[in-house]
Structure 1
């Protein structure tokens, strides 16, 4: 969104138009709506801004639910925003620690700040991009003086008077219109500054789940979070926001439930075990937190192969920390032989899982030429130097 579009949007006419457009689900809907509004004599800037917002609101329902209907977004801001349900968990940690005033440094479109203000915290929200800060101010307006938004660089803002800080470094590279993340040496705010501040004030630092673990400060709690099968973020907690004795945590949220695994350090992997009746795939947060061994010991399972995140056991298990598959049989790994075996079994719908092998599931699925009415999961991995193809069913 350019400044001209923002100016057109933040008017009674613009905001009313976004509400009137309602949900836009497809490119065809976009084209039809644009044509209709332009034919009605509306300006290109207003039409572009209003239709863009209607489309973003539709997409934002996944993260913000009904709140999306009164929010404004940029494409990059929505992609980078924390889901409201996860933001509420972050906010709860600040509240439970007894903090009342939080600075959100790098607030984006205000997703986390919305969660903070929503449970009664006083929020100072800051973003370096002018358009993004303006949208955050609009999104946080219902909270009145409880949420103050500033257009500024995080390093330039005084944190005197706040109890704790929330930081989201590695901001977009080129402002509100881009989605690429900056390189490790060029984060904004700079990581050295971020970690220095987090050493002086209790902090939550939102990072990508693949963040270099060697850069996590000593004494901090590192919490990886998975939502509905996707590992979405790492949060580094410092000071009173870090739980005593917890240095590694894996929070798994699926549907309406959540479960968390915590430990004082990385867990050692368990021993390798021959393939059993079941294969278990740990959630991404568990893998990133290096707590596979904790899960394996709890399930009485073994590693299927060294260094590969598949577990195996002979007993069925129920755990929020793994996806479990019942092994039907082992199939050949040669593509032609595998294709023939799957067709003989009537497999027309195939989920392909893989670890430790260089296979593109989309390309392989095309080569398999599947047909039939049955569904199954194909697990591709290796044990030592041997490739393994396992036909399985989700439990």
Structure 2
């Protein structure tokens, strides 16, 4: 059924037309609905999985939580560099990490708690193994904490941080409810090379001292916190911000959190650090590279008088300071003919979407507005992207 739908799409037919035609041919409605849903998920999955997505199977929830192919390949490379020939993928979902391990020449030992997701993972691994000429890994179904890592050389865990289900899931409130649990994951990390993928907003108090913590952003989107232990962790590195932009990769590393740079008077340029740099607390290290200072204590904007190109921050030229009071700000923007306004805020109590509506913008010009604090006071800074 999926092949029939794909063939009609290649012939230029839309989803509605395909649905009507197949219903007219007597296709069972439940099967047709499932196939059309799967077709939509395959199209969405291309952004994460590339062209192989056209042959894989997905659930909505598992696709949302799946690691992007490029990031999963970097995970697998850590295990390859650590000399691991087999890696237990505990909580494998639809198999994104196991697919990357296969591509790296490592035997994955996947475990998945949800039976349907496990069936889909088995299908996906069979597709990839067939393309690579590799043995097809078997997906074990059950609780990873009960089944364990067997005799794998290394372990990767992507604990479920949402309620069970295949769609409309919600985040669990406590790390104690992750599946597998962090306690289980960190115990494994005592014995063998281990990687743990967690959300980018992870409470930093949960990070063990012995772990290398790496925050990863992809094209400006902060996607994960990776905790690495044993041979998968790099010597002397405890904090890392990995910034992937297009085909390029850039990384800022340190042996600990960096001390914030001193506060400086507002300069000609404003820098907005990438989310990975902010979460890794490496803003001070970035400030040194940029010869910049903090706009205000505890606020993640940097300022300087020299424009320095960097992949770790977006740079803006400060055009002028506008009145911070909303009524006066609206008049100032109107006088400058600004009809398109990007609003950024840190240290200011404002809802950018609601404020944009109240400003009643008109005009052909566009700009960026920063609402923040500088020299202990609220400021509104009109700027343009460099």
The TM-score with structure 1 as length reference comes to 0.92
Between the aligned partners of 1:29 and 1:232, the Cα distance in structure 2 is 32
Query: 2:354 corresponds to which residue?
Result: 363
Question: Secondary structure at the residue paired with 1:87?
Answer: helix
Aligned residues of 1:171 and 1:188 also touching (Cα < 8 A): yes
Report the Cα offset of residue 177 of structure 1.
Answer: 2.7
Between the aligned partners of 1:297 and 1:122, the Cα distance in structure 2 is 43
Does 2:62 correspond to 1:77? Answer: yes
Query: 2:381 corresponds to which residue?
Result: 390
Between the aligned partners of 1:316 and 1:382, the Cα distance in structure 2 is 21
Q: Deviations over 1:32-88 (max 9, x none)?
A: 543332232111221111100111111111111212111111111111011101111
Does 2:173 correspond to 1:183? Answer: yes
Report the Cα offset of residue 370 of structure 1.
Answer: 1.3
Query: 2:36 corresponds to which residue?
Result: 51
Of residues 342-351 and 120-129 in structure 1, the stretch that sits farther from structure 2 once superposed is: 342-351
Query: 1:174 corresponds to which residue?
Result: 164
Between the aligned partners of 1:137 and 1:18, the Cα distance in structure 2 is 23
Measured at CA, do residues 36 and 360 of structure 1 come closer, stay the same or move farther in structure 2, by a change above 3 Å?
Answer: farther
Between the aligned partners of 2:145 and 2:244, the Cα distance in structure 1 is 33
Between the aligned partners of 1:229 and 1:15, the Cα distance in structure 2 is 34
Query: 1:7 corresponds to which residue?
Result: none
Query: 1:5 corresponds to which residue?
Result: none
Between the aligned partners of 2:331 and 2:289, the Cα distance in structure 1 is 39
Instruction: Provide the alpha-carbon RMSD of the alignment.
Output: 1.8
> How many residues are paired up?
379
Between the aligned partners of 1:60 and 1:81, the Cα distance in structure 2 is 9
Question: Secondary structure at the residue paired with 1:98?
Answer: coil
Query: 2:7 corresponds to which residue?
Result: 20
Between the aligned partners of 1:362 and 1:17, the Cα distance in structure 2 is 44
Between the aligned partners of 1:282 and 1:261, the Cα distance in structure 2 is 12
Between the aligned partners of 2:207 and 2:95, the Cα distance in structure 1 is 25
Between the aligned partners of 1:359 and 1:65, the Cα distance in structure 2 is 39
Report the Cα offset of residue 384 of structure 1.
Answer: 5.6
Between the aligned partners of 1:264 and 1:102, the Cα distance in structure 2 is 27
Measured at CA, do residues 323 and 365 of structure 1 come closer, stay the same or move farther in structure 2, by a change above 3 Å?
Answer: same
Between the aligned partners of 1:221 and 1:375, the Cα distance in structure 2 is 42
Measured at CA, do residues 32 and 356 of structure 1 come closer, stay the same or move farther in structure 2, by a change above 3 Å?
Answer: farther
Aligned residues of 2:90 and 2:149 also touching (Cα < 8 A): no
Measured at CA, do residues 141 and 64 of structure 1 come closer, stay the same or move farther in structure 2, by a change above 3 Å?
Answer: same
Question: Secondary structure at the residue paired with 2:76?
Answer: helix
Aligned residues of 1:129 and 1:176 also touching (Cα < 8 A): no
Query: 1:136 corresponds to which residue?
Result: 121
Question: Secondary structure at the residue paired with 2:163?
Answer: coil
Report the Cα offset of residue 146 of structure 1.
Answer: 4.5
Query: 1:339 corresponds to which residue?
Result: 330
Aligned residues of 2:2 and 2:39 also touching (Cα < 8 A): no
Aligned residues of 1:173 and 1:181 also touching (Cα < 8 A): yes
Measured at CA, do residues 309 and 123 of structure 1 come closer, stay the same or move farther in structure 2, by a change above 3 Å?
Answer: same
Structure 2: tracts of 5 or more residues without a match: none
Between the aligned partners of 2:378 and 2:52, the Cα distance in structure 1 is 48
The TM-score with structure 2 as length reference comes to 0.94
Runs of 4+ in 1 over 6 A off after TM superposition: none
Q: Deviations over 1:283-341 (max 9, x none)?
A: 00000000000000111100000000000000011111111000000011222221221
Q: Deviations over 1:205-235 (max 9, x none)?
A: 0000111111111211000001111111000
Query: 2:315 corresponds to which residue?
Result: 324
Question: Secondary structure at the residue paired with 2:3?
Answer: helix
Query: 1:148 corresponds to which residue?
Result: 138
Does 2:281 correspond to 1:294? Answer: no
Does 2:150 correspond to 1:160? Answer: yes
